[in-house]
Structure formats: C-alpha cells, structure tokens
Amino acid sequence: MGAGPVDTLAGIAPVLRQDGFPAIEVRMFPADAAEALDLIRSLGAPVRLQRHVELVGEAGEALLAVLREQGIVVDETFVRVGIVLHDAGKIRHPAELQGPGSEHEPAGEAMLLAAGVAPELARVCRSHARWAAMDCRLEELAVALADKLWKGARRGELEERFIDAAAAAGATDRWALFVALDSAFERIAAGGPTRLARSTL
C-alpha cells in the first residue's frame, strides 16, 4: 500500500507516485479550499454555485476518507481545491447552473487562468466533465467522481477509471481495492437524495 495522503499544493515534500504522474512540488494558487472559495466569490459566484461546491465537497471528503483508509497516495489539497473550482465557468454561463450545457467548462478554465490559478488546477474545469477523453490524474478523477456521487449518481466507467488510478497510485491489489471502493461509492451515493434536497435554495 502507499504512504498515505499529503498536501503537496501547500509546499510539503512531493509524493512518490506509481501512476505515471509527477508530484507537484511547488506552492500553487489557490493553496487551499478556503482560498479557492474566496477566489470564486471574488469572481462573482452566486450562492447556488457556492452551495453546490459545498455539497460536492462532502462527497469528496468521503472519497478521501476511504482512500486514506486504504493507504492510497493522493494529494488531498488538490482534490478539495479542484472541487471548489470545477464549475467556476458557470459564473459566466449561469443558465448552466440549473440546466445542461458544457460552455462553462472551457470558459471556467480560461477565467481561472486569467485570475492566476495554476494550470493543473484550472484544467479541472474541463476534466471533471471530459475525463473520458483526457489523461487524468487520480485527483482529477476524484473531483469528477465526487461531482456524480454527491447527487446519488453512479457512473460505472468513471468508477472503473478511478479504481484503476487508485490501484496504480498505491501499488495495491486491484480486486481488494475494488471491493472497498465500490462499497464506499454505494454509501456516498446513498446520501444523494438528502444532499439534493439541501441544494434547493
């Protein structure tokens, strides 16, 4: 099993990874979820968007907890910041807060880059929705998965990719990890109706 979670975005020592992605060794902006929330508020994030990232964050924390239990190496700060930022483009495309649409994805990345956000974090605006067509690190897949599970949705292909990435990051047995993570996904998704009810303003 891996060495456990660390917060590399805050400037702590890099993680030794086995999944092919380099460790992040420098401090990034935003440095934590609170700074990310301050940023999207300064960019005009409506209350509905702030509530959304709060609820996705609850699912994200549950995912991080099970990865921690399994000894999987993951940059927890990246996941938390990515969750806050992932739908930032809906500030520019508010209709997509309540309806379908993908214009917010590239718009969010561009807006965050213009605000000085680290490119690795800004691209979460695209990767949370376009993970199937992108080469994503475990942390990005965690953001994408939390964005599904918070409302009770299960996406088999996304879950499989997440499990593969987690097994690679932890150099652990995939089948044993599948059993643990699949049960966790079910538990997190079971809270979806309650979180959906809380999302109504």
Q: What is the pLDDT of residues 88-105, one digit of tens each?
A: 999 999 999 888 889 999
Q: For a pLDDT cut of 90, what percent of the chain falls above it?
A: 77
CATH code: domain 8-198 is 1.10.3210
Angle at 28 between CA 107 and CA 146, to 5 degrees: 60
Q: What is the pLDDT of residue 201?
A: 59
> Which phi and psi angles does 71 have, rounded to 5°?
70, 25
Q: What is the pLDDT of residue 189?
A: 97
Calculate mean pLDDT across residues 39-60: 97
> What is the C-alpha separation between 60 and 76, in angstroms, rounded?
9
Q: What is the pLDDT of residue 24?
A: 52
Calculate mean pLDDT across residues 152-163: 95
CA atoms within 13 A on the CB side of 185: 20
Q: What is the pTM of this model?
A: 0.85
- What residue spans define the domains of the chain? 8-198
Is pLDDT above 60 for 63? yes
Q: What is the mean pLDDT of the chain?
A: 88
Calculate mean pLDDT across residues 147-160: 95
Contact call for residues 82 and 140 (beta carbons, < 8 A)? yes
| Max Cα-Cα span within the chain | 44
Q: What is the pLDDT of residue 27?
A: 60
Peptide bond between residue 30 and the one before it cis (omega within 30 degrees of 0): yes
State the helix-helix crossing angle for 174-190 and 156-170, rounded to 10 degrees: 130
Terminal CA-CA length for the chain: 42
Q: What is the pLDDT of residue 171?
A: 73
Q: What is the pLDDT of residue 200?
A: 81
Is pLDDT above 70 for 10? no
Three-state DSSP state, 6: strand
Tens-digit pLDDT profile for residues 76-90: 999 999 999 999 999
Calculate mean pLDDT across residues 168-174: 85
Three-state DSSP state, 146: helix
Is pLDDT above 50 for 186? yes
User: What is the DSSP secondary-structure string of 73-120?
Assistant: --BHHHHHHHHHHTTGGGGT-GGGGTS--STHHHHHHHHHHHTT--HH
Is pLDDT above 90 for 1? no
For 11: left if phi > 0, alpha if psi spans -120 to 50, otherwise beta; the answer is: left
DSSP 15: P
